[in-house]
Amino acid sequence: MTKISIIIPLFNAENYLQECLESVRKQTFHDWECIIADDGSTDKSIQIATEFVNADNRFKMFSIEHSGNPQNVRHFARLNATGDWLLDLDADDFLAPNCLEKLIERQKQTNADVVLLQLNLFDNETDQTLQKIPTTSFDFAQLCSGDQAVMLTVGQWEIPNNGLFRKDLYNLQENYSNNLLNLDEYAQRIVLFNAKTVAFSDAGYFYRQHDQSLTKHITERYFYTIHSDKLLEEFIISKFGKHSKEAVKAKNASIKRLLNLYVCFFQVKKQFSKNDQKRINTLFLEHFKNLSAKEIWSSDLPVFKKCVLTLPAIVISCIACFYAQYKCYQLNT
């Protein structure tokens, strides 16, 4: 019988963990195990998780030394998983009661290596759905290859990067020691790329949007996501070719994100020390310097932004600063 291992990296999620684990316990598909990997929580998270472990032996908990990187924690949990299939679940999110059942049914229909679910982004304060990925108009009956699926996540997330994955798609011997935020998004795409067949399901995953989430609380590490964007771009070039339409799309996405993150930095820079500001700014300027004029002008950016990017890096810094101040002024008026 098919068994699913649900992977939950845990760190100080006491406000949401009960709902998360309860959504697992209430699944209409029963042959699952839930691997909770605690990353050094200091709140009541361990106490809450322990209650579920004691009440239901399908819940299992492990504790590791704090790393602050969910990718490392997920990797540890996968090493301890015994299921044939893996599903990632964040400790502040939850599943629809029939999520696992729908995913398994779709896998049996298609014999796919991966079945991607439907991500429901909802506001934690209002409980209103903000966005669905894929949208309700998406053709959930379609099948595609892993490389096609990866390209649907580049530039714009037309599909999520989460769902039911065959465990043997993962290289569990790999050591995830890199401390980059969002490296898990990059690494999971590599796994997705290796799938022969990818199917889709409207199985519901509820992704909570709140101010306490890791990506909402902006730290210096947040800006190092440009490294993982570059890794993805290089991976796509290696697989499709430097001049392929896929490589062009990845390059466009990488440049746009670089610009957006730089503006974001100037909007929040006052929360960083002078030394931190200098270090982050240097990071961006190095990436701008590495952009060639050919890459910039072959992108689909507006002409104005292309002109800006061909200026010296220090001038780009000044323009980004003024633009960030303008955006803040708009929000406050």
In a domain, 300, yes or no: yes
Q: What is the pTM of this model?
A: 0.88
Q: How confident is the model at residue 321 (pLDDT cuts 50, 70, 90)?
A: low
Whether residue 3 contacts residue 32, with contact meaning beta carbons closer than 8 Å, is answered with: yes
Segment 255-308, tens digit of pLDDT: 888 888 888 888 888 889 999 999 998 888 888 888 777 777 777 767 766 676
| 194 belongs to a structural domain | yes
Does residue 215 form part of some domain? no
How do strand 114-123 and strand 198-209 relate by DSSP bridges? parallel
3 state SS of 310: coil
Assess whether 226 and 149 both reside in one domain.
no
pLDDT of residue 133: 97
Q: Which amino acid is at 140?
A: F
Question: In terms of residue numbers, what domain contains 55?
Answer: 4-209
Is 140 among the domain residues? yes
Q: What is the pLDDT of residues 122-138, one digit of tens each?
A: 988 888 889 999 999 99
Q: Are residues 84 and 178 in the same domain?
A: yes
Q: What is the mean pLDDT of the chain?
A: 87
Flag whether 248 is in a domain: yes
Q: Rounded CA gap, 326 and 42, in Å?
A: 40
Report the alpha-carbon distance of residue 314 to residue 304 in Å, rounded: 17
Q: Which CATH number covers residue 33?
A: 3.90.550.10
Cα distance between residue 179 and residue 189, in whole Å: 17
Mean pLDDT of 113-129: 92
- Domains of the chain: total: 2
Amino acid type, 315: V
- pLDDT for 25-82, tens place per residue? 999 999 999 999 999 999 999 999 999 999 999 999 999 888 777 888 999 999 999 9
Residue 25's SS3 state is helix
How far apart CA 318 and CA 266 sit, in angstroms, is: 10
Asked if 148 and 249 touch (Cβ cutoff 8 Å), the reply is no
- 104/114 Cα distance (integer angstroms): 10
Q: How far apart are CA 17 and CA 61, in angstroms?
A: 13
Q: Note whether residue 77 is domain-resident.
A: yes
**Cβ proximity of 82 and 187 under 8 Å:** no
Angle ∠(332,209,157) on CA atoms, nearest 5: 100
My answer on whether 235 and 140 are in the same domain is no
Is 124 in contact with 93 (CB distance < 8 Å)?
no
Nearest to 20 by CA among 34, 30, 32: 34
